[in-house]
Structure 1
């Protein structure tokens, strides 16, 4: 079977932006200075020895905006299905974020909305795509709004549970379509919009199109100017699909420290470097539970909402293979994780075990 990258991309079709290292260094402190027990490495080693952290590539944990725990490992990696070989990961090693990209696009939409460049969530979806008058004339689709895109509650047919090597996977089918946007908008309607959450990379693709159309910039360029540079984020890559479109759903590559910077900005209610980077009201709206997943987690505007027994409620971004950004406002904690367990059924376990068995139990007091 062809790899995901062979299906989705042209050879070498990736965009690199930014400098090779983060623009400003993050301060590093000891675990004790951050209010954690000093035995984090022992906890980590015990979990690794028990085989509970297999496939982890990088960990960056911040409290009070400062790094108190940062570790990298060695292991095989891939980018969109193309093997990269055995990698000795470090602070400057770019890593696939996969669907963490979706949550970052959600932030970009809020920035563009604040600038009056994209439609508000309550606006009709098909009105934003006048090139498809036949779809807009469908009464059933007239009920679709931008908000249904942001919450992945379109009620249309979409299935990403199949392997990403299969043309029957909806994201792959979208990438192979002659017109990716028509493909997403023309899916059969199965339920009333707003009633059910269905994981849908096509929804993020629509957001990326609205951002590009409204700002007049390619998605990576707007991300660099509006979010990455203000946060001091260094080099990034954005993989393109077969038609040259940067993948809004899963194409971003970034180092873990810079992913943690996004979490730090969230804890600061959208501020960084003395300026408001993401509107605080957009963050508040993004973290409202607007849909319920089968496992009990909530979903806002492209962000997951959950709770661990220790640490309390978190807001997070989740990507295939074990990519994670967890943010705990109640304890001022950010954890960014990269891993290489792509497409594996139990891929969720290593990052969850890391949080539950290593980091949160070490919180002092």
Structure 2
């Protein structure tokens, strides 16, 4: 087994109206699993299975009814250590677009060519002319394959000059450069990188203190990857979406955007047992069991379960991301109950013993 440090909230909070209104920058509240209707024994089973079956887990956080009820870091990871999100960054870029739309800076029906006429080919194809912001959001730009931006001198120009053989909106093709273009669009209409644009609108209200986002040679946040956050930051982002964009009395993201972004906008497969075949929204994936998620290479997940009023944040380094999600469904889906459970000292003791065993062995 792999060595890790696990912290589980083992205290109940006496909640006053003041406590319920967390101050800006405060961490999420902690609570016992049973008080939020979740079995400590089931959490222990999940941790055992994840530790054995996923190579390798880095962190895990489970939020129920807005409160952290379990959190774990596998050494040498820690709560304070930012983690690369890879393509989970895309969901944050989508959020920036949604806020910019709400502020009247752009529309999802704006044509990409009209936003970057200076970078367009001399004779743009009809498909390029038809490409809209919406098509970037849904990974249906009309490309057959991705342009290799890493080998390009100018990333936006390389995207605009890449062949578009399919009519936009008709062909789903996972496309990280499309997300880069969303970032470039937000920067063009706001005068700020997506990182700086989101600081006062998202990161600061959520208490995300030091986000970092890598940039292109043109000084544009990469958008499709390159964002570094801590595990609790990921959990807060998921909780914001679970709360329909509301946070401490503020509407940070419009409810209408949350609904569109997390709904199935395009089909991407038909396998009922595969979480990558359940449909795609605006830079969010639909999951089985009524859930949705942002995800990134090697197993970075922000899974939102509206039916269970729960959020699961995971960081990892694994080649089999479906197996990583399967452990969640197999071990945690049945752990949620509608009402609080009786405090279970025996299950909590066994969970504590498991924690100590896992902390001391590899």
Aligned position for 1:98 = 86
| 1:40-93 deviations in Å (ceiling 9; x for gaps) | 4530353146x312211101111111001111112xxxxxxxxxxxxx212111
Aligned position for 2:337 = 364
Aligned position for 1:157 = 144
Structure number with higher helix proportion: 2
Residue pairs, 1:243-262, within 5 angstroms = 243-262=218-237
Number of matched pairs? 309
Aligned position for 1:9 = none
| Distance 1:306-1:52 versus aligned 2 partners, 3 A rule | same
Aligned match for 2:280, one of 275, 280, 299: 299
Residue pairs, 1:115-134, within 5 angstroms = 115-117=103-105, 119-134=106-121
Unaligned stretches of 5+ residues in structure 2: 1-23, 272-276, 339-362
Cα distance between partner residues in 1 of 2:159 and 2:242: 34
Cα distance between partner residues in 2 of 1:45 and 1:148: 39
Say which SS state the counterpart of residue 59 (structure 2) adopts: strand
Matched, 1:325 2:313: no
| Distance 1:198-1:133 versus aligned 2 partners, 3 A rule | closer
Aligned position for 2:322 = 348
Moved more, 241-250 or 218-227: 241-250
Residue pairs, 1:158-197, within 5 angstroms = 158-159=145-146, 170=147, 173-197=148-172
RMSD after superposition: 1.8
Say which SS state the counterpart of residue 225 (structure 1) adopts: helix
Cα distance between partner residues in 2 of 1:136 and 1:102: 30
Unaligned stretches of 5+ residues in structure 1: 1-21, 75-87, 160-169
Structure with larger Rg: 2
Aligned position for 1:6 = none
Say which SS state the counterpart of residue 326 (structure 1) adopts: strand
Aligned match for 2:201, one of 218, 226, 233: 226
Aligned match for 1:203, one of 167, 173, 178: 178
| 1:256-280 deviations in Å (ceiling 9; x for gaps) | 1111101111111101011000011
Structure number with higher strand proportion: 1
Normalising by structure 2, we get a TM-score of 0.81
Cα distance between partner residues in 2 of 1:48 and 1:145: 41
Cα distance between partner residues in 1 of 2:297 and 2:212: 17
Aligned position for 1:314 = 291
